[in-house]
Amino acid sequence: MGARSIILGAAFALAVPYQAMGQGGPLLMPSGEMAYPLDEIYDEDQSMIRLRYVVPKLAEPASLYAADALRVFEDMLWLCSTQLRSLADIGEFPQDQGWQGAIITMLEHEIPFGTRDADVVQFFEGFLFGMDGCEMEDDVYHD
């Protein structure tokens, strides 16, 4: 792969905001940061779908992104709202199949599911499925 291919790929990524670039490809989130999807996990005991993403920006020392909780939360909400619709295994709205919500995980680099590693930045957020899509369980703005 030559430098021209890399430059063209980077230009394409910037020109296609807020959507996946191919099956399992990187996602440009609303914040402008990239997320790389990992396998989804269907937790039948909790009726939750776990979506995990590697977000390399989390690994940067003193990252302004990692320190901005609102930006990270908005990206997680966007991932929940947009990526659940694209899961081929579901085929219809997740709540129509009995799923209650989703847990979005962002990691600085991939580690096995369920692994605790104090040296790896990880963020988790749980969302319930509602009439308006993904929403916080304690969302005081919706009844």
Average pLDDT over residues 99-128: 88
- Which string of b and e fits 87-115 if b means at least 16 CB within 10 Å? eeebeeebbeeebbbbbbbbbbeebeeee
Q: What are phi and psi of 91, to 5 degrees?
A: 75, -20
Report yes or no: 79 and 53 within 8 Å, Cβ to Cβ.
yes
Nearest to 98 by CA among 47, 43, 32, 135: 47
Higher per-residue confidence, 142 vs 16: 142
- Confidence at residue 38, expressed as pLDDT on a 0 to 100 scale: 93
Q: Where are the domains of the chain?
A: 3-135
pTM over 0.75: no
Asked if the model's pLDDT at residue 28 lies above 80, the reply is yes
pLDDT interval class at 138 (50, 70, 90): low
Asked if the model's pLDDT at residue 81 lies above 80, the reply is yes
Average pLDDT over residues 79-87: 80
Q: Name residue, tokens 């930006």.
A: 71
> What is the C-alpha to C-alpha distance for residues 57 and 26, in angstroms, rounded to an integer?
13
> What is the C-alpha to C-alpha distance for residues 105 and 7, in angstroms, rounded to an integer?
29
**Segment 38-43 long-range contacts (CB within 8 Å, at least 24 positions apart):** 38/110, 40/87, 40/89, 41/113, 43/103
Nearest to 43 by CA among 100, 116, 112: 100
